Amino acid sequence: MEANLEKEIVLSAIQPTGTPTLGNYLGALKNWKEMSADYTCYYAVADLHSITVRPEPKDLRRRTLEMYALLLALGLDPEQNTVFVQSHVPAHAQLAWILNCYTQFGEAARMTQFKDKSEKHPENVNVGLFAYPTLMAADILLYQAHYVPIGADQKQHLEITRDIAERFNGLYGETFRIPAPFIGKAGARVMSLQDPTKKMSKSDTNVKAFISVLDDKDTIVRKIKSAVTDSEARVYYGEGKDGVNNLMGIYACCTGKTNAQIEAEFSGKGYGDFKAAVAEAVVAELAPVKEAFDRLMADKAYLNECMQKGAQKASYVAEKTLRKAMRRVGFYQL
Ligand code: ATP
Ligand code: MG
C-alpha cells in the first residue's frame, strides 16, 4: 500500500449511455487496463453526465450496474484501483458548481461535443449538456490526476479542464494539479461503420454503426461485413478511403500489425477476405471480456460490495480537494 502513494494518478470515466463500443474499448478502456498496473487509478461510471440525454430511469439503473461489471470484466482489480459510480460521490456535483462560476459562457459554447450533440438532439439542448465540460473538469481535478486516458474526441474537454484549473490556481494559489491527456496512438478515434466520417458512438441510434463489446460472434461478423467501404476493392491506407482506413485501424489495434504489414497481407485480395480477418481479430479480442462480464453479472452482491468500497475510497480523496477549493473561494467554514 505504501508504494501506491508514490505512483502517479490517473482518472477516467465512461458514461452508462449504452454498452461500450469497440471505439470506447480501443480508444480508452484498453488503456485503462494497461495503466492500472503502473498508476494509482480512479475509474468512474459517469452516471451524472449521462442524464443529459434523459434515459429511462430503469435503463439508467441497469446500465450503471452493467457498465460497472464491464469495468471489472476488463480486468481492473477493484482492490488495487478505485472503481466507482460518479453519483455515489457528491463532491463531483459540488465542485462542478464552483467551476461553472470560473468558466466563461463563450469558452463552453466552443466545445464541439456540445455543438454535435445539440444538433443531434435539437429537442433537448439542456444546460447540463452545456455544462458537461465543467463536470468533467471536476471529475478530473478532484483526484489531482496527472493523466487522463481518453479518446481523441475528449481532447478539447481536457484542454478546457486545464484552462479552468490554471485560472483557479492563478486566482487562489495552487489548488488543482494540471492534468495531461493520455491518448493512445492506435484506436484513438474509431469511426462509425456506417458513416466512417463520424466517430463510433455507443448512443448511435443505428446499431449497425457500432460494435458493442458484448456483441456475439455472428453479430460482429455481420456488422463488419456490412461496414461501408468504397468501390476500389484494394486494401491500403489512403485519402478518401475512410471506411477501409477505419477497418485497418481496428485490425491494427487488435493484432499489433502495422499498416504496411496489413497492406502486404491483403495485396491481391478483396474486401471480403479483409473483412473476415478483421471480424476474426475483433472476436478474439473481445471474447474474454464478454465471458468475464457474464460471470460478474451473475453476482450482484459482489458488484454492490465493490461499488460501496469504491465510493468510500473515492470520496475520501475527492472530499479533501473539494474542501480545499471551498476554503479558497471563501465559503464560511464551520
Ligand atoms: P456517447 O455517445 O454517449 O457520448 P461515447 O461512445 O462517446 O458515448 P463516452 O462515455 O462519451 O462514450 O466516452 C468514453 C471514452 O471513450 C472517452 O474516453 C472517449 O474519448 C472514448 N471514445 C468514445 N468514442 C470513441 C471512438 N469512436 N474512438 C475512440 N475512443 C472513443
Ligand atoms: Mg461521448
118 with 139: CB under 8 angstroms?
Answer: no
Reduced to 3 states, what is the DSSP secondary structure of residue 211? coil
Quick one: CA dihedral 324, 327, 329, 332, positive or negative?
Answer: positive
Bridge partner residues of 13 (DSSP): 44
Say how many Å lie between the CA of residue 17 and the centre of ligand 2. 9
Ligand 1 pocket: which of 139, 153, 204, 253 to mutate (most atoms <8 Å of CB)? Answer: 153
Show pLDDT as tens, one digit a residue, over the chain (334 residues). Answer: 444 558 999 999 999 998 999 999 998 898 899 899 899 999 999 999 999 999 999 999 999 999 999 999 999 999 999 999 999 999 999 999 999 999 999 999 999 999 999 998 899 999 999 999 999 999 999 999 999 999 999 999 999 999 999 999 999 999 999 999 998 777 789 999 999 999 999 888 899 999 999 999 999 999 999 999 999 999 999 999 999 999 999 999 999 999 999 999 999 999 999 999 999 999 999 999 999 999 999 999 999 999 999 999 999 999 999 999 999 999 999 8
Closest ligand relative to 44 C-alpha: 1
Closest ligand relative to 28 C-alpha: 1
Q: Is 219 in the pocket of ligand 1 (CB under 6 A)?
A: no
The candidate with the shortest Cα–Cα distance to 40, out of 72, 13, 80, is 80
Q: Is 55 in the pocket of ligand 1 (CB under 6 A)?
A: no
Ligand 1 pocket: which of 35, 201, 203, 246 to mutate (most atoms <8 Å of CB)? Answer: 201
pTM of the model: 0.90
Q: Is 30 in the pocket of ligand 1 (CB under 6 A)?
A: no
The residues that are catalytic are 117, 199, 202
How many angstroms separate the CA atoms of 319 and 325, rounded?
10
Say how many Å lie between the CA of residue 134 and the centre of ligand 2. 15
